[in-house]
Amino acid sequence: LGACRIHGDVDRAASVAEHIFLFDPKNVVPYVLLSNIYASAGRWDDVVKVRNAMKNRGVKKKPGHSFIEVEGKMHVFVVGDTSHPQEEEIYAELQRLSKQMEEAGYVPD
């Protein structure tokens, strides 16, 4: 599926994913990869179908998270979590960095 994403081969990705679903229907990875491939191709109806299949089969994606160590203390960040005591400063810095990357010409996938 990763190669299909790189080469933009949406139809092959769908075929490969269907085979994976047969052998490992509870594995979240192929669902997420196929959904992302469809999204990159602008096939939003298919994204919805994949997400509905996940829901119907009881497959759940865990929220993304990141870790960073600062001055010997480990900080964990989870998508959508706004409970960090320095949340405002962190998001302000992320906004500043995002703007700086955009000004340098970075375009996300």
pLDDT in tens, 57-101: 999 988 888 898 989 988 888 888 888 888 889 889 989 999 999
pLDDT cut 90: percent of the chain above it: 70
pLDDT surpasses 80 at 109: no
Give CA–CA dist 76/67, Å, rounded: 5
Average pLDDT, rounded, for the chain: 92
Q: Which of 27, 40, 9 is nearest to 109 (CA)?
A: 40
Helices 10-23 and 28-40 cross at an angle (nearest 10°) of 170
Contact 75, 69 (CB under 8 A): yes
Q: Which of 32, 34, 47, 24 is nearest to 4 (CA)?
A: 34
Give CA–CA dist 88/97, Å, rounded: 14
pTM equals 0.66
Give CA–CA dist 30/35, Å, rounded: 8
